[in-house]
Chains A and B, each alone.
Chain A
């Protein structure tokens, strides 16, 4: 089986995809409103703010209030998008999201930038690696982690059309923008690379790394299938099972704690329907630290080289 080549023309941050997507849906749908807790520039919400000042709500440094206001704004038909860092979008306001948004089933889109360790130099106080677990445990919450600019832009459109609460996670660093020609549908994984020996399930910034790993493995005679699971909930159980049954070995790749993340979601599906050897590319129940994104991805084992090592490990466990 051959190797499909993915190319990109530019590297750009996923949060800019959110900013562009938000401005676009703001133009298209008058019910879209945006709320921000003093991080308009970081969230790339300026374009929306300038085009629609009457529908932009600067809340100040008060994330709990922001979540409650967003919940209230749905009453009367608005579609609120909240914007702040992932840490302040989840852990800081978990109870507000739980009661006023999830349990109350409000149509709020919680949009979270600077997720994971690639936030970089600010260090562990700002690098949340637990947010996917927190959010996927909430009944009725849709949870998405996009991999590049274009996927984030498309996801922003899709979540506006989706009825119900959504957590959309994206990040700070510039990464290859390669999904221009790929569709985005909530809950549908994307088969990026067909392979036979092992499946790499990847989300967020690890998707490009997984493609690089597949190329490296190919050159070593190992055929890796690469699947982008951008929606951790609802999970694309069928695609995961189909691939695991074919290859018989899987690696989950995510910028998140291995507790509570994509790996556990994949493992749950496999354990229930088709037990399969699995290894986890993820942080190992640790906080992050200051450093450049590339340094941190290397130190915490979240890059292509780590994926190659983990793929070989799991191949040895294959029955």
Chain B
């Protein structure tokens, strides 16, 4: 478990990885990746108990499932920087014969990935299944998952939310990346989500709001609260209020950078705002 100082040192490096990965293949999803950088760093550096000697079954480890697979750049960067595979492999992102596919997959055997995601709305069901198996195995470790807010427009989520609430899946902490943006614009413009917290509570969940979703201490406090609330016959959701594109000023507060790569000049600006702390890949 790393100190908050070392976590803060990792953050700008992860942002640099995201920008450089997306730039070099002129494709990928920087906005949501940047918005969740603090979440991933906190999760993998401070919250979860896991082994980098990767085994699919993950027995006696905490598990994480990324449902909104398009933010693969941040996932890959944090997995590599946490020791799952060589950092140099980040240079293969989205290229032919790479284990770092556009969207995460188990298909190429990349350590750290336990399910394919990309087609939205499926990750919570998978996380519930893994949580059920942990209960059967008397494995006291937790299951974590991340979902986009726009992704909640997919109906399967609500089947899963109903199941987890109704069946008391209390070893699951699902975080919603609440940035209020999706490809076509704001979630309010595309399809209003309404009061997500109240909806989850109505389905039997405990909901924890983290208003400063890009602030490491606030995220860690949210996880602590979530862990304390879990194992009490209810699933726990964290509504993580994030800023899309966080850490790169011209990418912030807009959906414009959902799935667009920066050009050379924009990359230089973004990198100048984030110090190379641990060495680029």
A65, CB-defined interface residue at 8 Å:
yes
Q: Which residues of B contact A78 (CB under 8 A)?
A: 133, 136
Pair count A-B, CB < 8 A: 117
B-contacting 9-mer, from A69-77, A128-136, A229-237: A69-77
B105, CB-defined interface residue at 8 Å:
yes
A33, CB-defined interface residue at 8 Å:
yes
B137-A62 in contact (CB<8A) = no
Instruction: For the complex, give the distance between the alpha carbons of A157 and B163 in Å.
Output: 29
A6, CB-defined interface residue at 8 Å:
no
Q: Which residues of B contact A70 (CB under 8 A)?
A: 129
- Expressed in whole angstroms, the minimum distance between the Cβ of B25 and any Cβ of chain A is 21
A96-B122 in contact (CB<8A) = yes
* Interchain CB contact (< 8 A) of B106 among A68, A77, A104: A104
Chain B 120-156 near chain A by CB (<8 Å), digits 1 or 0: 0011111111111110110100000000000000011
Instruction: For the complex, give the distance between the alpha carbons of A67 and B115 in Å.
Output: 13
Total interface residues in chain B, CB < 8 Å: 38
Beta-carbon nearest neighbor of B169 in chain A: A69
A71-B129 in contact (CB<8A) = yes
Beta-carbon nearest neighbor of B58 in chain A: A75
With contacts A67-B125, A100-B116 taken as known, whether A77 is within 8 angstroms of B57 at the C-beta atoms is yes
* Interchain CB contact (< 8 A) of A100 among B59, B63, B122: B122
Chain A 35-65 near chain B by CB (<8 Å), digits 1 or 0: 0000000000000000000110101101011
Q: Which residues of B contact A62 (CB under 8 A)?
A: 159, 162-163
Q: Which residues of B contact A59 (CB under 8 A)?
A: 163
A295, CB-defined interface residue at 8 Å:
no
Interface residues on A, range: 20 to 34
Instruction: For the complex, give the distance between the alpha carbons of A99 and B105 in Å.
Output: 9
B114, CB-defined interface residue at 8 Å:
yes
Q: Which residues of A contact B63 (CB under 8 A)?
A: 75
A68-B124 in contact (CB<8A) = yes
A95-B119 in contact (CB<8A) = yes
- Expressed in whole angstroms, the minimum distance between the Cβ of B273 and any Cβ of chain A is 35
User: Which of B118, B124, B134, B156 is packed against the most chain A CB atoms within 10 Å?
Assistant: B156
B107, CB-defined interface residue at 8 Å:
yes
Beta-carbon nearest neighbor of A78 in chain B: B133
A64-B159 in contact (CB<8A) = yes
A68-B128 in contact (CB<8A) = yes
CB within 8 Å of A: which of B42-88?
Answer: 56-59, 63, 65
Beta-carbon nearest neighbor of A140 in chain B: B107
Beta-carbon nearest neighbor of B130 in chain A: A72
A69-B57 in contact (CB<8A) = no
B115-A65 in contact (CB<8A) = no
- Expressed in whole angstroms, the minimum distance between the Cβ of B55 and any Cβ of chain A is 10
Q: Which residues of B contact A106 (CB under 8 A)?
A: 115
* Interchain CB contact (< 8 A) of B132 among A67, A69, A105: A69
B132-A72 in contact (CB<8A) = yes
- Expressed in whole angstroms, the minimum distance between the Cβ of B141 and any Cβ of chain A is 10
- Expressed in whole angstroms, the minimum distance between the Cβ of A189 and any Cβ of chain B is 30
Instruction: For the complex, give the distance between the alpha carbons of A55 and B132 in Å.
Output: 10
Beta-carbon nearest neighbor of B139 in chain A: A76
Instruction: Identify 9 residue pairs between A and B in the complex whose beta-carbon atoms are under 8 Å apart, listed by A's number.
Output: A64-B155, A67-B125, A69-B125, A70-B129, A71-B125, A72-B127, A75-B133, A96-B125, A105-B107
5 smallest beta-carbon distances between A and B, as pairs:
A72-B129, A68-B125, A76-B133, A65-B159, A62-B159
Q: Chain A: residues with CB nearer than 8 A to chain B?
A: 33, 54-55, 57, 59-60, 62, 64-78, 80, 95-96, 98-100, 103-106
Q: 4 extra interchain contacts, Cβ-Cβ under 8 A, other than A65-B125, A72-B133, A100-B115? A: A65-B156, A68-B124, A68-B160, A100-B125
